[in-house]
């Protein structure tokens, strides 16, 4: 009787452990490692879930342009595994411009070719703001502003002679002359406690949107600076080709094209060893929980038989 009971418990434990393993593994980890790999003279790209072969890619000349999405061979340039119709002999990353690449005729932001762009004159202004002789850009989007008078204010804001812009959009009804970024201080005295990041003579703004008008705040906006409050000096940088390293993130220098090791995926994301370690940890927890549960069941069984 007892042998049959123990055999039943053993079979139940094995089935529960197998079911837990089958349930946990498929939903916990990607089917492939993110990036490019070469195997048997074939080039593959994985987006973290699905892996596809890049048809027509030349395995012998295939190289990474950066460590994430871009690669090229002697015939084409690829972004996330797709041919973006760029010149592989001149394709390169643009210095100090995050996410921007160029060839001899066009500028690319991530995987998209920017219409009417001019690679020879493309340069960074400040932070995410860039320009060439034809356009002004914020993260690949064109800013419809006056190029001659355009300058970056800071905090995602810029202006020209007529308008204020937040990223690539106009800030409605903002006064160009008096517009400025708020100092680092307690904003609780403004707009009933709502956060604000900028102001002009008429209103307070947050992320390019008006929060409240100043005309209704005469009773709560202090007329003089409060004591014991430290104000940050905010300067208005001019449009230059270099960035202020103290206040703006600088893109890393372009890395040289890197060869992909044959028959191996790029080590981006979790490695197979890390995945195996996590699976073992999950199995250990599941197994320990099942063992504890079975010990309790067996104890209750024997107590019942004794009584």
Specify whether 41 is located in the same domain as 84: yes
Task: Give the model's pLDDT for residue 179.
Answer: 93
Specify whether 264 is located in the same domain as 298: no
Confidence of residue 248 (pLDDT cuts 50, 70, 90): very low
Residue 6 included in any domain? yes
Kindly report the pTM of this predicted structure: 0.60
Residue 263 included in any domain? yes
Confidence of residue 78 (pLDDT cuts 50, 70, 90): very high
CA-CA-CA-CA torsion sign (108, 269, 37, 95): positive
Specify whether 38 is located in the same domain as 90: yes
User: Which residue in 177, 141, 178, 134 sits closest to 156, CA to CA?
Assistant: 141
Residue 130 structure tokens: 């860039």
| Mean pLDDT, rounded, of the chain | 75
User: Which neighbouring-strand residues pair with 212?
Assistant: 204
Lowest-pLDDT choice from 45-59, 95-109, 202-216, 285-299 = 285-299
Task: Give the model's pLDDT for residue 229.
Answer: 40
What is the total count of domains within the chain?
2
pLDDT (average), residues 249-256: 41
Decide if 97 contacts 136 (C-beta within 8 A). no
Task: Give the model's pLDDT for residue 27.
Answer: 44
SS (H, E, C) the chain: CHHHHHHHHHHHHHHHHHHHHHHHHHHHCCCCCEEEEEECCEEEEECCCCEEECCCCCCCCCEECCCCCEEECCCCEEECCEECCCCCCCCEECCCCCCEEECCCCEEECCEEECCCCHHHCEEEECCEEECCCCEEECCEEECCCCCCCEEEECCEEECCCCEEECCEECCCCCCCCCEECCCCCHHHCHHHCCCCEECCCEEEECCEEEEECCCCCCCCCCCCCCCCCCCCCCCCCCCCCCCCCCCCCCCCCCCCEECCECEECCECCCHHHHHHHHHHHHHHHHHHHHHHHHHHHHHHHHHHHC
> Does residue 125 register a pLDDT over 60?
yes
Specify whether 23 is located in the same domain as 47: no
Specify whether 64 is located in the same domain as 17: no
Residue 171 included in any domain? no
Specify whether 288 is located in the same domain as 261: no
Residue 189 structure tokens: 């005295």
Specify whether 14 is located in the same domain as 38: no
Which is it for strands 35-39 and 42-46: parallel, antiparallel or unpaired?
A: antiparallel
Task: Give the model's pLDDT for residue 199.
Answer: 87
Residue 188 included in any domain? no
Task: Give the model's pLDDT for residue 289.
Answer: 73
Residue 232 included in any domain? no
Specify whether 38 is located in the same domain as 86: yes
Phi, psi values for residue 28, rounded to 5°: -95, -30
Residue 247 included in any domain? no
pLDDT of 175-208, one tens digit each? 999 999 876 554 555 676 677 888 888 988 989 8
Residue 109 included in any domain? no
Of 223 and 59, which is predicted with more confidence? Answer: 59
CA–CA distance, 253 with 183 (Å, rounded to integer) = 32
pLDDT (average), residues 86-109: 93
Residue 77 included in any domain? yes
Specify whether 6 is located in the same domain as 47: no
Residue 298 structure tokens: 């067996």
Specify whether 43 is located in the same domain as 54: yes
Which is it for strands 203-206 and 100-102: parallel, antiparallel or unpaired?
A: unpaired
> Does residue 133 register a pLDDT over 70?
yes
Confidence of residue 242 (pLDDT cuts 50, 70, 90): very low
Task: Give the model's pLDDT for residue 239.
Answer: 40
Q: Containing domain of residue 62, as a range?
A: 34-94+254-268
Confidence of residue 89 (pLDDT cuts 50, 70, 90): very high
pLDDT of 256-302, one tens digit each? 555 565 554 444 344 444 545 555 666 667 767 777 877 777 777 67
Counting every residue written for the chain, the total comes to: 307
pLDDT (average), residues 27-42: 79
Task: Give the model's pLDDT for residue 4.
Answer: 56
């Amino acid at each position: 009787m007892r042998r049959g009971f123990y055999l039943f418990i053993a079979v139940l434990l094995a089935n529960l452990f197998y079911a837990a393993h089958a349930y946990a593994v498929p939903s916990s980890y990607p089917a492939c490692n993110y990036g490019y790999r070469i195997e048997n003279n074939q080039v593959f790209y994985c987006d973290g879930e699905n892996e596809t072969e890049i048809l027509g890619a030349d395995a012998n000349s295939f190289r990474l342009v950066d460590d994430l999405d871009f690669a090229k061979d002697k015939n084409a340039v690829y972004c996330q595994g797709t041919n973006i119709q760029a010149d592989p002999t001149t394709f390169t990353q643009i210095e100090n411009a995050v996410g921007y690449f160029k060839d001899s005729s066009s500028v690319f932001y991530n995987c998209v070719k920017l219409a009417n762009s001019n690679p020879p004159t493309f340069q960074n202004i400040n932070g995410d703001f860039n320009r060439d002789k034809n356009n002004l850009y914020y993260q690949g989007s064109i800013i419809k502003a006056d190029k001659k008078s355009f300058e970056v204010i800071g905090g995602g804001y810029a202006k020209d002679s007529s308008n204020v812009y937040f990223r690539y959009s106009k800030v409605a009804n903002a006064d160009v002359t008096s517009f400025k970024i708020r100092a680092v201080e307690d904003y609780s005295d403004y707009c009933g406690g709502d956060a604000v990041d900028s102001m002009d003579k008429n209103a307070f703004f947050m992320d390019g949107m008006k929060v409240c008008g100043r005309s209704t705040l005469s009773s709560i906006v202090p007329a003089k600076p409060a004591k014991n409050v430290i104000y940050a000096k905010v300067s208005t940088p001019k449009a230059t080709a270099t960035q202020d390293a103290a206040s703006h993130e600088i893109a890393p220098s372009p890395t040289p094209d890197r060869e992909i090791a044959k028959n191996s995926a790029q080590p981006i994301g979790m490695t197979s060893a890390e995945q195996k370690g996590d699976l073992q940890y999950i199995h250990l927890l599941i197994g320990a929980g099942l063992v504890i549960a079975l010990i309790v069941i067996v104890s209750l069984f024997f107590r019942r038989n004794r009584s």
